[in-house]
Structure 1
Amino acid sequence: MVDPQDILKFWLDDVGPDGWYNATPELDAQIRRKFGDAWEGACEGRYSLWLTYPTGALAYIILTDQFPRNMFRDTAGAFSTDRIALAAAKSAINKDWDMRIDEPARQFFYLPLMHSENLCDQDRCVRLMCERMPEYGRSNLLHARAHRAVIRQFGRFPTRNAALARTDTALEAEYVARGGYGNTVRALQNETAAA
């Protein structure tokens, strides 16, 4: 049976910052193999005790927000536990447990907000990145602002439409065809450079 420390050691130490946003089929397969059963356990409510202390909550959020994006890449499964990850993140943040975790690991409390298709969550994510990630927040802030820009424009992430069997609007199809999220990031970078 997996415990929170297994998840934290693997994600924070073994994979680390260099691997967090560097998707590879090998890492995806490794996460499926090592943590697929634990993810199913979280879906069944087996790890609610983890939500009673900061490091347990962090491990739970990584298990339900980060790992599905690897295990089920480009499918609906990638987003299937977003709701429970978001609830866990909001609860932990409201207790200031995020502030008991050092950067850069602290960001994982905020990423469920960044992954939410709700503008209020997006605004809160940007605010938290500004206020609570002083050392590592610059890059994270750029991506938080980019996610918020997409939700402001479309009310959802068009890049998820195929996986979630949602029909693209004409504007969404055009957005994706013109470079989608990457273009949003570049536009914000150019805007910041010009300011």
Structure 2
Amino acid sequence: MSSVDDVISFWLEEVGPERWYAQSDALDSQIRDRYLPLWEKARNGRLMNWASCPRGALAFLIVTDQFPRNMFRNDARAFATDELARRVAARACHLGFDCQIAEPARQFFYLPLMHSESQMDQDRCVRMFLLRMPESGADNLLHARAHRAVIREFGRFPYRNDALGRASTAQERAFLKRGGYMDALNGLKEAA
């Protein structure tokens, strides 16, 4: 079974920042082959002990927030452990675990808030990037603000609707046709 150190080494060193947000079928398959049993264990509440220290919490958040987005693209399971990750991230930030992790890995404590469909979580995510990653988090801050803008407008992420079996409104369909998230991101860039 994978360990905290294995997860962190894989994500931070093997995958690295240049591939964290790039879509790759090969990487998705590699993560699924290597970490699906670990994700299932986390989903079933059997990795909660990892969340009791900074590095363990970081590994837990990678497994529950990042890995499913790779393993299950366009599938509801991509979001199945979001609430679990959000709760652990909120607790870890409250305890200051995030500040004990060097950047850029620190961002993984804030991404579960960015992935939340709660306006309060979105506001908190923007605040965390502003306060706890002010220098190196500029790009992340822009993305946090774009996610928050989508939630402010729709109350949810319309680009998840198909995977989650939700009907899209006419306004959401128009947003998706304009480019969805990229439209929101470009709107913020133009306003800056």
Tell me if both proteins adopt one fold, taking TM over 0.5 as the criterion: yes
2:143 paired with 1:120: no
Letter in 1 for 2:22: N
CA distance in 1, matches of 2:15, 2:134: 23
Q: Which residue of 2 aligns with 1:73?
A: 73
Identity among equivalent pairs (%): 55
Give the alignment of 1:50-65 within 5 angstroms.
50-65=50-65
How far apart are 1:134 and its partner, in Å? 2.5
**Residues 103 and 135, structure 1, Cα contact 8 Å, conserved in 2:** no
Letter in 2 for 1:14: E
2:80 paired with 1:83: no
CA distance in 2, matches of 1:150, 1:111: 15
**Which runs of no fewer than 5 residues in structure 1 stay unpaired?**
none
**Residues 126 and 141, structure 1, Cα contact 8 Å, conserved in 2:** yes
**Residues 68 and 78, structure 1, Cα contact 8 Å, conserved in 2:** yes
How far apart are 1:23 and its partner, in Å? 1.3
Q: Which residue of 2 aligns with 1:135?
A: 135
How far apart are 1:7 and its partner, in Å? 0.4
Equivalences, count: 192
What whole-Å deviation, never above 9, does each CA across 1:107-149 have from its counterpart, x for those lacking one? 0000000000000000000011111112321100000000000
How far apart are 1:45 and its partner, in Å? 1.5
2:35 paired with 1:42: no
CA distance in 2, matches of 1:122, 1:171: 21
Give the alignment of 1:1-195 within 5 angstroms.
1-192=1-192
What whole-Å deviation, never above 9, does each CA across 1:4-30 have from its counterpart, x for those lacking one? 111000001110100101110000000
What whole-Å deviation, never above 9, does each CA across 1:13-52 have from its counterpart, x for those lacking one? 1101001011100000000011000001111221111011
**Pairwise CA RMSD:** 0.6
Moved over 2 A (4+): none
- Aligned residue for 2:16, secondary structure, equals helix
TM-score (norm 1): 0.97
Letter in 1 for 2:99: M
CA distance in 2, matches of 1:63, 1:34: 11
Letter in 1 for 2:109: F
How far apart are 1:180 and its partner, in Å? 1.1
CA distance in 2, matches of 1:132, 1:125: 10
What whole-Å deviation, never above 9, does each CA across 1:163-191 have from its counterpart, x for those lacking one? 00000011001110111110111110011
How far apart are 1:2 and its partner, in Å? 0.9
